[in-house]
Amino acid sequence: AQTVTQSQPEMSVQEAETVTLSCTYDTSESDYYLFWYKQPPSRQMILVIRQEAYKQQNATENRFSVNFQKAAKSFSLKISDSQLGDAAMYFCAYQRGNFNKFYFGSGTKLNVKP
Amino acid sequence: DAGVIQSPRHEVTEMGQEVTLRCKPISGHDYLFWYRQTMMRGLELLIYFNNNVPIDDSGMPEDRFSAKMPNASFSTLKIQPSEPRDSAVYFCASTRDILFLTFGAGSRLTVL
């Protein structure tokens, strides 16, 4: 069974600093996709970044980047130059290629201190 | 595009009442998912549709829950009768080609 684990229930970062959120997953598949979603207090789920497992290059979206370690089944999210608006719950998600279910981790609450 | 539209945003009802949550997916998206979010269990997939056909409803908690998708632009999730343990935020999400999910704003249900 596919599982996604986020071991950090809550984290804090100083504004303008860098923070890394951890995610590990369990799968025997070689073709899959990984995602980070952000859920601010408005509770809208927003896609932050997406990574295809077959790509070795780590995905990057502006201040957001991932460290994808396929052998270790690790998919961490790095937020650089943290901003107050980054404060939210962050969910890691897994989707097996050609299979329609998305599996979500339990989330990490990120606090950003001014 | 207006995104995935859910209604109502908030619903407060009494135990035993019927609850209907509604979702309009993004036009052209052929997959629609219903998720439930609680503090205890996180995000749980309840059911998903492909081209209006239910594909996997193994996450539906029990017979009190039902979901329909009569056409490509509308889906409902119904709970009858509702119970306090059904209190949660219910999300609808849609996608095309399973690239990534686009979520609605969610419907917060409180059953007293």
Q: How far is B14 from chain A (nearest CA, A)?
A: 24
- Residues B36-73 have pLDDT tens digits of 999 888 899 999 999 999 999 999 988 999 999 999 99
If you search the block for the tokens 């996180």, which residue do you land on?
A: B42
Binary contact (B42, A102; C-beta < 8 A): no
Binary contact (A101, B101; C-beta < 8 A): no
Tell me the average pLDDT across B69-86: 96
Tell me the average pLDDT across B79-100: 92
Binary contact (A100, B42; C-beta < 8 A): no
- Asked whether the beta carbons of B2 and B29 are under 8 A apart, the reply is no
